[in-house]
């Protein structure tokens, strides 16, 4: 079974500053800010929502097709995807652009300064939603603005149910545009903060939004997640990770769990529990695609966490 994943494919360059930004930024001089931070740790990770979701879905034994645009520096990422069996059928390369990239500097208080270059991601609309893959489910995750709008319409026109996952792309859309996504989508997945933003911009409550969807999923970090479906709210506890090293990409791992449940016609509680465990496994590893396991291992961990199989 196949899932279509509209979203970004990006590089994340992560740097650690062994001090605190507040010790080097003078509040009364921010209008002439000129600072440099010496970082003794740097790593470059493969990321982007579509890349992360497809990778996690692959670990669960399912086929996820990224609908993404990349640039001339895609080479090493392409080899990574090939090595792990992540399909690149609908990843389109533009040699006059760079891949999307985030440059993130984190200090000892976990404050972050991020510079994001969208690059080829802004051309995501150049990739069309395929109708010949027999896709059972899709997802519209953060991507180029026009790509998100057009892919949602194309999913709806093709009759392919999809999850609307606005994520970091949420600020690009006003209330009317968000409502249009909700009207087209079958499901929506947001974190707690994003759910408040959607409510504020649309003027609709959680109950109002849930009535327009088959399911509304809200993740709440260590407090677990809530799934509003069939007129009821299903709370799913968070799975305690073996360590907390890096939350980046945790939401994408969770969404891969949602897609797995939908692909396999599982009930919402089981689907939420799979998603919760996926997030826990990710947060225990640095980077968004550095956790590895077999489906057999995952089933054992699931049984340990929840006392049953799926």
C-alpha distances out from residue 240 to 84, 248, 301, Å: 27, 16, 12
First to last CA, the chain: 17
CA 46 to chain centroid: 13
Active-site residue, 208 included: no
Cβ neighbours, 10 Å, residue 302: 20
Instruction: Kindly list the strands in the beta sheet with 232-236, ordered across the sheet, starting from the edge strand earlier in the chain.
Output: 91-93, 63-70, 2-6, 137-140, 162-164, 187-191, 215-219, 225-229, 232-236
Catalytic residue among 192, 252, 265, 309: 252
**Catalytic positions, please?**
252
């Amino acid at each position: 079974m196949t899932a279509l994943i509209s979203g970004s494919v990006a590089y994340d360059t992560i740097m650690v500053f062994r001090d605190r930004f507040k010790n080097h930024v003078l509040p009364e001089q921010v209008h002439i800010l000129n600072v440099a931070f010496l970082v003794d740790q740097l790593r470059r990770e493969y990321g982007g929502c579509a890349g992360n979701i497809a990778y996690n879905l692959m670990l669960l034994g399912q086929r996820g097709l990224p609908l993404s645009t990349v640039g001339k520096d895609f080479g090493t990422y392409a080899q990574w995807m090939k090595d792990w069996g992540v399909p690149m059928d609908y990843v389109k390369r533009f040699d006059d652009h760079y891949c999307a990239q985030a440059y993130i500097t984190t200090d000892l208080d976990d404050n972050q300064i991020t510079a994001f270059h969208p690059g080829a991601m802004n051309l995501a609309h150049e990739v069309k939603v395929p109708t010949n893959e027999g896709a059972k489910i899709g997802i519209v995750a953060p991507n180029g603005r026009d790509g998100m709008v057009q892919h949602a319409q194309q999913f709806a026109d093709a009759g392919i149910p999809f999850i609307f996952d606005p994520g970091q792309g949420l600020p690009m859309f006003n209330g009317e545009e968000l409502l249009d996504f909700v009207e087209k989508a079958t499901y929506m997945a947001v974190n707690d903060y994003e759910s408040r933003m959607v409510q504020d911009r649309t003027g609709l409550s959680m109950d109002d939004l849930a009535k327009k969807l088959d399911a509304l999923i809200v993740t709440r970090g260590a407090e677990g997640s809530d799934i509003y479906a069939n007129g009821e709210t299903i709370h799913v506890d968070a799975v305690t990770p073996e360590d907390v090293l890096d939350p980046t990409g945790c939401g994408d791992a969770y969404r891969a769990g949602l897609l797995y449940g939908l692909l396999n016609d599982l009930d919402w509680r089981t689907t939420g529990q799979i998603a919760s465990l996926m997030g826990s496994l990710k947060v225990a590893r640095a980077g968004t695609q550095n956790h590895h396991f077999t489906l057999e291992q995952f089933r054992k961990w699931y049984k340990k966490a929840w006392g049953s199989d799926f």
